[in-house]
């Protein structure tokens, strides 16, 4: 199963050049999800290989790359009909509040194998699951905390780049809040998910 659009093969230097270009673009326009995804893909190969290896060592994890479950509207459409106090309903309400469909995720284009492309796609698709599980807002502090959890979970360089870029936009009170509360909390929770 191919995930996303046509796969684009890049050599090492091309990946570095493309990653740097997208990093600059993503910092100047952090609302462009396609730039964030492309930057992530060109900096994550090693991290996603690690995630895939960890999945294959877990009895439950082994089934995921084989079955390749997806978070797409045809699979999660029932969430809008679930009782209000359920995860499904909370997910549906959140997605409705930001007017975003799981089908709106940009395609994966820069992974070398279909397996790695799936792991990349899966990471994007469950991103909002994690936001809901941890009750994180969609502001810069909430997104930064979520990136720290993802960094702890998947060792994704993009997450660190996002946090560093985000720090340049924080005021003094926000920096104190993120360093004293959110970062330690996110690191603890991200590490606990691994155990």
Within this chain, do residues 168 and 114 fall inside the same structural domain, yes or no?
no
Within this chain, do residues 82 and 152 fall inside the same structural domain, yes or no?
no
Within this chain, do residues 108 and 91 fall inside the same structural domain, yes or no?
yes
- What pLDDT does 2 receive? 44
Within this chain, do residues 92 and 183 fall inside the same structural domain, yes or no?
no
pTM above 0.85, yes or no: no
Phi, psi dihedral angles at 164 (to 5 degrees):
-60, -45
Given a contact cutoff of 8 angstroms between Cβ atoms, the answer to whether 138 and 132 are in contact is no
Boundary residue ending a domain (114, 133, 152): 133
Residue 54, C-beta contacts closer than 8 angstroms, at least 6 positions apart: 61
At 166, is the pLDDT very low, low, confident or very high (cuts 50, 70, 90)?
confident
Given a contact cutoff of 8 angstroms between Cβ atoms, the answer to whether 47 and 157 are in contact is yes
Within this chain, do residues 140 and 112 fall inside the same structural domain, yes or no?
no
Number of domains in the chain: 2
Interval 7-66: pLDDT, tens:
556 666 566 566 666 566 655 665 566 666 666 666 677 888 888 999 999 898 899 989
Domain limits for position 161: 136-195
Interval 87-137: pLDDT, tens:
999 999 999 998 989 888 888 877 778 898 899 888 888 889 999 999 998
Structure tokens at 28: 């100047």
Question: How many helices (H) and strands (E) are present in the chain, helices listed first?
Answer: 11, 0
């Amino acid at each position: 199963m191919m995930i996303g659009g046509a796969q684009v093969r890049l050599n090492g230097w091309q990946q570095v050049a493309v990653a740097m270009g997208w990093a600059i673009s993503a910092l100047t326009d952090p609302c462009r999800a396609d730039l964030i995804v492309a930057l992530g893909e060109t900096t994550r190969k090693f991290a996603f290989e690690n995630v895939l290896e960890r999945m294959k060592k877990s009895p439950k994890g082994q089934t995921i790359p084989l079955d390749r479950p997806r978070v797409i509207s045809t699979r999660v459409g029932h969430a809008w009909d679930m009782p209000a106090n359920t995860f499904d309903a909370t997910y549906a309400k959140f997605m409705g509040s930001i007017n975003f469909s799981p089908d709106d995720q940009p395609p994966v284009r820069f992974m070398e194998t279909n397996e790695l492309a799936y792991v990349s796609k899966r990471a994007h698709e469950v991103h909002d699951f994690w936001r809901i599980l941890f009750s994180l807002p969609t502001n810069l502090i909430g997104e930064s905390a979520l990136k720290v959890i993802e960094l702890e979970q998947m060792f994704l360089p993009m997450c660190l780049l996002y946090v560093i870029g985000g720090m340049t936009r924080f005021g003094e009170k926000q920096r104190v809040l993120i360093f004293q509360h959110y970062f330690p909390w996110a690191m603890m929770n991200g590490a606990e998910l691994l155990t």
